[in-house]
Amino acid sequence: MDDSAIVRQILSNSLAAHEDIEVVGTAPDPYIARDKILTLKPDVVTLDIEMPRMNGLTFLKKLSEYHPLPVIIISSRTQSSCETALEALRLGAVHVLAKPGGPYSVGDLQIDLPHYVRAAAAAGSRIRDRARVSAPPAWLPKLASTPSDFLVAIGASTGGTEAIQQILAQLPETTPPLVIVQHIPASFSTAFARRLHQLCKFEVREAENGDLLRPGLALVAPGDFHLVVRRCGAHLRAFIKQGPRVCYQRPSVDVLFESVASAAGASSLGLLLTGMGVDGARGLLKMKQAGAHTIAQDEASSVVFGMPRTAIEAGAVCEVLPLSRMPLRILQICEQKARSASPKSKLSN
């Protein structure tokens, strides 16, 4: 769905060039799309946000309520479009892709789109409306103490924006430092970090070079930059860098996890969440080999089980958990680390 005939044609041709993908129809506006969806019964819909007669967000709300199916959002890079695209993810869209330079441009979008169409098709049975994250449950404890050198690293792709939000929104203000890689277009990461900050009890922002990792701070990798952790004396700090894509991604979960394995080792926890592909499995294995505790999201709660499945099959995972159990588990492991690091604990040993 796109109001530009040129964009519809280019994207249709690029998708149809793949033997496993069939383009059953196109539409210039939501009203025409509604009729075609009911008639043609597609597995996946791509949706431009800025559409005539009815905007894409309104159409997505109606689609999610009456005829839920996987939707990939294709949006321009303006600030308002980024915010709207993130709202679309909250409403149930499985991924967001950016138009590189205006409403009628396509660029590398035609290269990336087939991969995400396949992932969206695989997620079809799990598509449903996603309610706004509720308040933290009363039973979730506050941390009595947070180890100064303990670190939580999180990686995710398709479906990850909502999964990360559900975890972080339930953690207390004394949360251990978090570093996060979410596969997301460059212009959308700022809006994503801003939204998390509004929902959380602690500070969330995009990472900058030299950021000190401390309790009560979560750092999100800026789009198109790798995020790495380095030990600087007694402290852990975050750095961002360019460099080649890893597993077709920048930022890459593998790059983050491998740096955490080297810098923090056993004083870290790795979470690999929903997503397409294999990014994160190799890095999570290195974290586990370095003594870190590692967790993968289970299949039932994942939008796309590709990344967690690959890590599980590689022997990189200590635990497989549903998304709902992860906030409490993070705090439990953090407190275990705090107790083992206390002088009283060392004396008793």
Please tell me which residue in 183, 187, 254, 302 is annotated as part of the active site. Answer: 183
Count of domains forming the chain: 2
Specify if 299 maps to a domain: yes
Verify that 195 and 284 share a domain, yes or no: yes
Catalytic residue of the set 157, 259, 267, 268:
157
DSSP state of 310: H
Contact of 304 with 147, CB cutoff 8 Å:
no
Q: Do residues 115 and 230 share a domain? A: no
| Residue 236 belongs to some domain of the structure | yes
| pLDDT recorded at residue 348 | 45
User: Is 279 labeled as catalytic in the residue annotation?
Assistant: yes
148 Cβ contact partners less than 8 Å away, ≥ 6 residues apart? 215
Evaluate the CA torsion angle 172, 340, 271, 309 in order and state its sign. Answer: negative
Residue 272 main-chain phi, psi, to 5 deg? -110, 120
Supply the pTM of this predicted model: 0.87
CA distance 279 to 289: 17
Starting at the edge strand found earlier in the chain, the sheet holding 235-241 runs 211-212, 235-241, 226-232
For residue 325, give the amino acid letter: R
Pick from 234, 232, 168: nearest CA to 205: 168
Q: Are residues 227 and 301 in the same domain?
A: yes
Task: Choose the final residue of a domain: 126, 143, 168.
Answer: 126
Could you tell me if 118 and 159 lie in one domain?
A: no
Task: Please calculate the CA angle 195-277-182 and round it to the nearest 5 degrees.
Answer: 15
Residue 135 located in a structural domain: no
Q: Examine the domain organization and report whether 297 and 196 are in the same domain.
A: yes
Same domain? 180 vs 293 = yes
Answer whether residue 143 is part of any domain: no
Q: Which helix (H) or strand (E) holds 75?
A: strand 71-75
Identify how many contiguous H helices and E strands the chain contains and give both numbers. Answer: 12, 13
Please give the DSSP secondary-structure letter assigned to residue 18. S
**Residue 262 sits in the same domain as residue 186:** yes
Is 157 one of the annotated active-site residues of the chain? yes
Mean per-residue pLDDT pooled into runs of 10, the chain (349 residues): 90 92 96 95 92 89 89 78 84 83 64 87 64 44 71 95 94 93 90 94 96 96 96 95 93 98 97 95 98 96 93 98 95 85 50
- Residue 322 domain flag: yes
Q: Do 260 and 324 have their domain in common?
A: yes
Is the bond leading into 251 cis (omega within 30 degrees of zero)?
yes
134 located within any domain: no
- Domain span at 51: 5-126
Q: Residue 178 sits in a domain of what CATH number? A: 3.40.50.180
| CATH number, residue 89 | 3.40.50.2300
Is the same domain home to 121 and 172?
no
Same structural domain, 195 and 309: yes
Of 149, 235, 167, 233, the closest CA to residue 204 belongs to 167
* Residue 341 within any structural domain of the chain: yes
Is residue 268 among the annotated active site residues? no
How wide is the angle at C-alpha 44 spanned by C-alphas 42 and 45, nearest 5°? 95
Nearest to 237 by CA among 223, 249, 219: 219
Residues 305 and 269 placed together within one structural domain of the fold: yes
Is residue 138 situated within a structural domain?
Answer: no
Burial of 102 (0-12, 13-18, 19+ CB in 10 A): exposed
Is 28 found in the same domain as 85?
Answer: yes
